[in-house]
Amino acid sequence: MDQHQQAQRPRLSLVRILEMNLGFLGLQFSFGLQQGNMGPIYSYLGASEGQLPLLQLAGPMTGLIVQPLIGALSDRTTSRWGRRTPYFLFGAVLCAIGLLTMPLSASIVMAVSLMWLLDAGNNITMEPYRAYVSDRLDPAQRHTGFLTQSAFTGLAQMLAYLTPSLLVMLGMDRDWVDPHGIPYTVRTVFWFGAALSLGTILWSVLRVPELPLGAEERARIVAAPRGIGATLAEVGNAIVTMPVAMRRLGLMSLFQWFSFWGYWTYVPYVVARNVYGTSDPASGGFHEAVLTNGQMAAFYNLVACLAAFAMVPLVRRIGPGPMHALCLVAGGIGVLTLAHVTDKALLFLPMLGIGLAWGSTMGNPYAILSNAVPAERTGVYMGIFNMMIVLPMLLFSVLMSELDLGFVKLGFGLYEKLLGGDPRHLLTLCGAGLIAAGLAVLRVREGRAAATGATEGLAHS
């Protein structure tokens, strides 16, 4: 797309922006299913609690490897279907296959293998979807596009957490399991997720197709070096020449994603200790804590969905950076408070702040980023930005856990050595981390202009 075309992107109605992001609903439903069900699936198949962090590394690792490469490849694609669409469709097919087959797993090895397939499909689709919004929308509308993605993220994950309970309410036996111990409610919801993911992505690309490349842009892409070596070189060069705004977002991402990953990993254990008075995973109290956490997660995702739409006019006034800072501080206060709540009904109050932080996280940083990077390298920079998400997750796993393989020990085991094996201390650390992330994003100046007008935003495109 040449400079003239970049300046002449047609403005889309809110309905069209919703349609172009509908595929994100299906994609994030898949992520929600993984987040809420993969630990139990591994446990049904015989995994111990100590093995779960290692078994769950497929998500961060595939994100680290796949997204930057797909970003660089999609920037260089000139197919008849567009730059991003081939990756949407290929990733959606892989995701659907993973969702269809995962609940049929007969062993831990099979489940782990399918998890890598599923995460690869999700990540192949995720990265170009971010770039597609930046490609397709006028700079003044990008914050609306990314906040719409955030709203669909909240809605999709809320539904993913609640659907098994809804199936039980409709009469499905929660104790009806297959020969490997996996409940049929899990099988049903995963199969529904496969249809939703593939169907919504097809709807989006057919209803709101990509804009055609201009002659100048096509010529530039055709003339660029090809092959995996050129792609890796492009990723490396993009890291070296990263815009200042993106570098500063990296510090925010370190605190933000370290904290979110820790929260998701340990919040059921905090609820079990504080509300149900147990740390025994085999106890009925712990099982109830897991169910309660699902209800909490559904609630904060609902808050995130509603907050994302409510943020649109506020972002126009104050910009995505200050808005994100406020939301992260609210989330940090929520996590700090949650570490001390002992009444079930009061658990949902901290979810208001956590929902605000989550709703902002899935939209505002991308609005900042999209107006701070060169338009012709949006794909590779969106992929690199995902590295800033998964590296803190990997750092968390290495610092907090320890795995003894007999001949070598992996990880530092700080959860036991520094935090005394108490998840409430871990949540306190995560709450402080979200507040630090909020302070870090205030250092980012570039890219906010898209919230107030297209002219300055174009200067960053």
Measured CA to CA, the distance from residue 52 to residue 69 in angstroms comes to 27
- Cβ distance 144 to 100 under 8 Å? no
DSSP 210: P
Interval 164-212: pLDDT, tens = 778 878 887 867 778 887 888 889 989 999 999 999 999 988 888 877 7
The mean pLDDT of 361-369, rounded to a whole number, is: 82
**Of the ranges 27-31, 191-195, 421-425, which is most confident?**
191-195
What pLDDT band is residue 459 in, cutting at 50, 70 and 90? Answer: very low
DSSP classification of residue 345: G
For 66-70, 167-171, 411-415, which range has the lowest pLDDT when averaged over its residues?
66-70
H-helix or E-strand spanning residue 257: helix 244-276
pLDDT recorded at residue 356: 95
* pTM for this entry: 0.74
Question: What's phi and psi for 82, nearest 5 deg?
Answer: 120, 180
Which residue in 290, 265, 280 sits closest to 394, CA to CA? 265
In the predicted model, what is the mean pLDDT of the chain?
A: 81
Q: What residues contact 28, with CB distance under 8 A and at least 6 apart?
A: 152, 153, 156, 157, 160
